[in-house]
Chain A
Amino acid sequence: DGGITQSPKYLFRKEGQNVTLSCEQNLNHDAMYWYRQDPGQGLRLIYYSQIVNDFQKGDIAEGYSVSREKKESFPLTVTSAQKNPTAFYLCASSNPGVRTEAFFGQGTRLTVV
């Protein structure tokens, strides 16, 4: 089945540690996105990538880093510089153009203690 896989579903880390969230898609989509969602709030764009080896900052990129070495994969690293990393993280992918919707993974809930 085609889709987007985020792993793990739940992740716990100690404060000060970097952590990498995985996002893999087999939909052959060019564009991929990372969003952060805090309780009761909307999705905020962290980073997005239109093609392999290229990515751009979204609205809240500080404290995060990404890579896009393969079309299928877009991992997100939450660094120790991110002041409030505890949140729900959603990865999405899409074909290019304004007429196509983004498809989402199931999300990773990160808790930093």
Chain B
Amino acid sequence: AQKITQTQPGMFVQEKEAVTLDCTYDTSDQSYGLFWYKQPSSGEMIFLIYQGSYDEQNATEGRYSLNFQKARKSANLVISASQLGDSAMYFCAMREYSPSYDKVIFGPGTSLSVIP
């Protein structure tokens, strides 16, 4: 069964510092996608970054990077130079796909608070 674990319910970071949000996953598929989403208090889901299981390089998108360790089944999100607007819930998600199967499941999330 698919499972996503995010072990940090809440995190604090000083403005302009970097922070790492942990994510581990469990799957028996060889091909899968890993995603990070941000959810501000408004409730919308904002896509941040993607990592494919066969991608050899870690993904980067602006201030976001993904520390992907396939053997450990971990996909940690790194946010550099934190800003006050980064305060939100962050969710790790995994997608497995086949012509008869297409699930996207989410972890429990990490609440990030950026301190001025």
Contacts and interface: CB of A to CB of B under 8 A. Distances in A.
Contacts of A44: 106
A52 interface: no
Contacts of B97: 96-98
A88 B42 CA distance: 12
12 contacts: A31-B102, A42-B106, A42-B109, A48-B103, A92-B104, A94-B104, A98-B52, A98-B53, A98-B96, A98-B97, A99-B50, A102-B95
B1 to A, nearest CB: 9
B23 to A, nearest CB: 12
A1 to B, nearest CB: 15
A101 B43 CA distance: 18
B33 A99 contact: yes
B19 interface: no
Interface residues of B, number: 30
Interface in B74-116: 91, 93, 95-97, 99-109, 111
A43 interface: yes
A59 B4 CA distance: 13
A43 B94 CA distance: 12
Given A35-B106, A101-B50, 17 more contacts: A40-B111, A42-B6, A42-B107, A42-B108, A43-B106, A48-B102, A88-B43, A92-B104, A98-B32, A98-B52, A98-B96, A99-B33, A99-B52, A101-B47, A104-B44, A104-B45, A106-B43
Contacts of A58: 103
Given A98-B97, A106-B44, A50 B102 contact: yes
A31 B101 CA distance: 11
Nearest to A30: B102
A44 B3 CA distance: 11
Given A98-B33, A98-B53, A98-B97, A33 B43 contact: no
A21 interface: no
Nearest to A90: B45
